[in-house]
Amino acid sequence: MIVETTADGVIRSAPAKLNLFLEVLGRRADGYHELETLMVRIDLADTLHLRPAPTGAIAFSCDDPTVPTGEANLVVRAAERLRQARGCLLGVNIHLCKKIPMQAGLGGGSSDAASALVGLDRLWELQTPSDQLAALAGGLGSDVPFFLHSPVAVCRGRGERVEAVRLGPSSSLRALWFVLVCPPFGLSTAAVFGRVQAPSRPRSVGPVLEALLRGDIDALGRELFNRLEGAAGEIQPALRAVRSALEAQQPALAGTLMSGSGSACLGLAHDEEAARRAADRLTGVLGPGLVRVVRADLESSPA
Ligand code: C5P
């Protein structure tokens, strides 16, 4: 994540994520599902502008009027919880520039919250220990802790137990290229999880992770998997047309998948040029404004 400290405050990017593998291991007593998922950070990002507020209030605005303000907003909740946990009385004016589609399975709201925690920790000079930041992040949402960590991770538990994946110096892969389709409809994470059945013999993240570590794009494409796809397709049948359009691009694309609880779907390309060609063809099929090319940088940069 990029943090910039200006005379005026802190500017921070909040990148989206893609799930390249997601298995549901079981339903827990608290209603959440036990997961094993492989996530990568991508270069599609929101931006948070944080300026000190002399009033001591937490004020939030957004360039997208459909984003909720007040308590329902995860960024506001992040600010309040950090302030409370650290006994801080300072205020902030937060402005969010929204680029990540909502209800798309791209982790936009979670990333905004993680970015707010880290950005406010700097703005308010709190120097919060990293384990306390991680605990605050996990309390805000299952995906939030991932965004405090490295660009590639396997996440377990309800998603909050993050194990960073580091590609060795011998790996030839520096980035992954994707064509990303964001349909004009969103999906509720709770509704999708509400319909999913945990399998009796869950798949393991092992093969997809090994393909990534080997830098084998074809194998990675074959191993892409998301247990939530069936449930998402039942709720929103139009998703099937999106998936079919992506699948029709194979073998130019190594594999296709829905990300997280949807509705965004990805195609893994061999390189940037292949991703751009597939994006042009998909725009011809699906219409303008839904298709973009995104990159996942696999090398660590500070969160
Ligand atoms: O943690 P978060 O607030 O993002 O989760 C949203 C909803 O998604 C939860 O209320 C729950 O219904 C569902 N969920 C789940 N199992 C997970 C993560 C989320 O059932 N591991």
Which portions of the chain are predicted below pLDDT 50? none
* pLDDT for the residue 301: 61
- Rounded CA-CA distance 136/85 in Å is 8
Closest protein CA for atom 7 of ligand 1: 190
What pLDDT does 4 receive? 73
How high is the pLDDT of residue 3?
Answer: 65
How many angstroms does the Cα of residue 194 sit away from the middle of ligand 1?
A: 9
143 is catalytic: yes
Nearest atom (ligand 1) to Cα of 31:
20
Q: Report the predicted TM-score, pTM, of the whole model to 2 decimal places.
A: 0.96
Which tokens hold the place of 38?
């492989």
Ligand 1 touching residue 103 (CB < 6 A):
no
CA-CA distances (angstroms) from residue 20 to 36, 41, 105, 260?
A: 11, 11, 12, 9
Q: Write down the pLDDT at residue 71.
A: 81
What does the pLDDT read at residue 77? 97
